[in-house]
Structure 1
Amino acid sequence: MFCLCCQGPQFRLVPNWGNAGHSTNYLSFLQRNRRFFTRSFSAVEVVAYDREKQPEQHSFTVSYLINACGLSPEIAASLSKKVAFETTEKPDSVLALLRNNGFTNAHISKLVKKSPAVLVGSVEETLLPKLEFFHSVGISGTDLANILSSNPIILRRSLEKQIIPNYNFLKSLVSNNEKVVTVWKRALRLHDVSKTVVPNISALRGIGVTQSSISALVISNPGVLCEISEKFDVSVKKVIEMGFNPSNRAFVDALVAIRNMTDNSWEQKLTVYRSWGWSENDFWLAFRSFPRCMTLSVENINIKMDFYVKKMGWRPSAVARTAVALAYSLEKRIIPRCSVLRVLLFKGLIKENINMYSVLVPSEKGFTDKFLFRYQEQVPQLFDIYQGKIDLSELGIGFEHRPEANER
């Protein structure tokens, strides 16, 4: 039984043990579990709210969801309409099992918020066998907690008919458990692979999509393969009509772009690229070489195009020819490399018409060999500039607006 005790401006739910001996046990329990109560869920402190307007929030279930699962009063009240219990026996056993299998308080909150029914499931008959299976194939601890808290619907699936077959199928495609974990976290609909995923993969193989491309698609965007076959086939046909070769990796990237975008979103991205000076030919050149250029956010596109065109002086058509550069990190790759380029240009060590592909696309080793080691003697501080230890402004150089240079 619980009672409300006033402590300052807040109320706390505490057990009403009834006698001094039990009170002593309660204090001992608090001392042993101080870390749990102080760090796990600050929601143990329940803010008093209007009983008349929200009387249902004081139910046993709501109190449990707040105190044991770390949910807010509002969320707990909402979830109590989907699941209810009068004793803590079942939910306590579920939470104990989860914690023993690597679930943190954050994992439990996330899991219960998405699937509150897990609290009243059978531990011995349903939950435990599934956890044991995951352990048997080497998925446990944080990996297991991440999977199930991200995609708790797995726990509602049949172990023999869905979970085990799905695991075996995914393992055959992606080779190791780490990648299986990634797929399970990303694909909320990847539960019965025999109905959608297997036929769709067969369709891709039938038109010449390579196994490596299929594996990459499964890992990066498994949800695409969960579409019903009729709709999936329409998307595949559309990508083929756009001129993509199924044997090239760009084919599945284009398929992802087509499947994940609405017509309105597609037109919006086209408008943005046109506003930066891309012609129709520029767009198709960019999209066919790097389909992911259409999955970037409008903000991302504008920031990168502004930097390349206005600050570096590269023509829009040059960016279209090196569309992959739109996906690079501004802070980690673009600015460090372009800072080096700007210094070398300022000192006249390289020609003005150097193209952006040779600067941004090479590997880390390729870039450092070509631009850092090669000019280290002439510019001793070049590595410090590349690593951000010296700002260009200290050298009287910056990324000010530049007129478009010759075609680069």
Structure 2
Amino acid sequence: MYSSLLLHSKRCIELHKSRTFRAISVKLLQNESPFRNPFSSSPSTVQSDSVLNLLTSYGFTSTQISRIITTYPRLLTLDAETSLLPKLQSLQSRGASTSDLTEIISKVPKILSKRGAKSTALYFDFIKDIIHNDGKSSHSSTIIGKQGNKMRNVTVLREMGVPQRFLFSLLVSESQPVCGKEKFEMSVKKVVEMGFDPATSKFVQALHVFYEMSERTIEEKVSVYNKLGFRVEEVWEMFNKWPYSLKFSEKKITQTFETLKRCGLGDEEVVAVMKKRPECMRASEEKITSCVETFLGIGFSGEEFVSMVKCFPTCVGLSAENVRRKVEFLVGEMGWELKDVVGIPPVLGYSLEKRMVPRCGVVRALVEKGVMMGRESGIPPMSSVLACSDKVFLNRFVMKHGKLVPELMAIFAGDKRKVKGLCVSVS
């Protein structure tokens, strides 16, 4: 079964690649100890501290522990002595080196949630094979039962080119996409035949959808969209962009559609928005309503909001604080106008700290030095500053300024001491 599945998958992948080629010739607890318990006043403090101390005693670095509790925060609620220690001791007694132990657990901390030391050891060994033996497990074929079947299916996905980070999450997940035999095989075939690249998260998302939903259920979801004005091919276009678009209930799909209409969009405009960014369906009715109130409260007109949603549908999922801080910075600090934001709303999706402040710091420095004299406002168009790649920005505003290059590069690299006149908090 597996060899034929792999052969079929590889043929389909190559076919889709050739078609494509022809078609398109948490900062963790900032300013505090990285391991300080955020619930320090709760009774669980001692327990979580015990977990952190245990990990430290087994050689985990601060970076690895940060990754572990960021990836799997529930680990802090487990009992260090009765749940975690026996598993770590068992792995060590079986010959696991400190480097293997810390590397594997920091990558897949959820294996410590598996019941019993034996189960943890099976997953540990399999993950070690995946990491160190180019994905070829030396023992998964000998393991029987659900665990062995899961591992064999994960091996198939690995040989198809699914990256480690997706494999590991599938392996330790409680959901079912890598369980079973025939159903797994059928689901993978459907995903591959639709042209999803195994190296992307969309491949895994599509696998979830096809495994968890029957053909009848999928047809019913397509019918829901069809009744709202989507053509069948448009529904599948959305699925290709974001497979989870078929996982929503009829109530949720209809509710999102009607909420966007109440924002001022017509039926065809809503269809266009959802086709462009189907992820906007994740936003709740309350979130979208709050978003409208935020934009209108800042000073945008209803027509301008509709224009921004049509261009950048993701804006309906932004928090009120996020939008306010960015607009205050762009308009209040930098001197651009609201109409500039309306013209390129995707800027609201850029990071304030990593993109806006460094780039605007460079521009502000050039204005203060008189380098940009000659423009009416002194500030270049927002699009030329923010809506371009780092390479283009550097060539446009940094590299051609000779003696100023070191200072400008320091600002661009995020040296806040060099950024003058930008009164914005980026914490």
Q: Which residue type is aligned with residue 343 of structure 1?
A: A
1:183 alignment partner in structure 2: 204
2:149 alignment partner in structure 1: 129
- The answer on 1:381 being equivalent to 2:407 is yes
Normalising to structure 1: TM-score of the pair? 0.61
Q: 1:361 aligns with which of 387, 405, 408?
A: 387
RMSD, matched Cα:
4.2
2:321 alignment partner in structure 1: 299
Secondary structure in 2 matching 1:306: helix
Question: Structure 2 matches for 1:5-20, cutoff 5 A?
Answer: none
- The answer on 1:164 being equivalent to 2:185 is yes
- The answer on 1:337 being equivalent to 2:362 is no
Aligned-partner Cα distance in 2 for 1:146–1:209: 30
Q: 2:287 aligns with which of 265, 273, 279?
A: 265
Contact 2:191 2:207 in 1 (8 A): no
Larger relative helix fraction: 2
1:107 alignment partner in structure 2: none
Contact 2:222 2:232 in 1 (8 A): no
5+ residue gaps in structure 1? 1-8, 11-33, 47-62, 71-89, 105-122, 402-408
Q: Which residue type is aligned with residue 252 of structure 1?
A: K
| Alpha-carbon offset, residue 291 of structure 1 | 0.6
| Alpha-carbon offset, residue 319 of structure 1 | 1.3
Contact 2:239 2:246 in 1 (8 A): no
Distance 1:284 1:187, change over 3 A: farther
Tell me the number of residue pairs that the alignment of Structure 1 and Structure 2 aligns.
Answer: 305
2:241 alignment partner in structure 1: 216
1:95 alignment partner in structure 2: 120
Normalising to structure 2: TM-score of the pair? 0.58
| Alpha-carbon offset, residue 383 of structure 1 | 2.3
Secondary structure in 1 matching 2:144: helix
Aligned-partner Cα distance in 2 for 1:36–1:174: 45
| Alpha-carbon offset, residue 322 of structure 1 | 1.5
Aligned-partner Cα distance in 1 for 2:322–2:163: 37
| Deviation sequence 1:192-224 (CA, Å, 0-9, x none) | 363445665696884553977543313xxx2x3
| Deviation sequence 1:113-151 (CA, Å, 0-9, x none) | xxxxxxxxxx623221221122023258654222233x3
Question: Structure 2 matches for 1:77-156, cutoff 5 A?
Answer: 91-102=116-127, 124-138=144-158, 143-149=166-172, 151-154=173-176
Q: 2:275 aligns with which of 208, 232, 252?
A: 252
Aligned-partner Cα distance in 2 for 1:368–1:213: 36
- The answer on 1:282 being equivalent to 2:279 is no
Contact 1:339 1:386 in 2 (8 A): yes
Distance 1:228 1:374, change over 3 A: same
5+ residue gaps in structure 2? 1-45, 48-53, 61-74, 90-114, 130-142
Aligned-partner Cα distance in 2 for 1:357–1:368: 14
Contact 1:336 1:385 in 2 (8 A): yes
Q: Which residue type is aligned with residue 256 of structure 1?
A: E
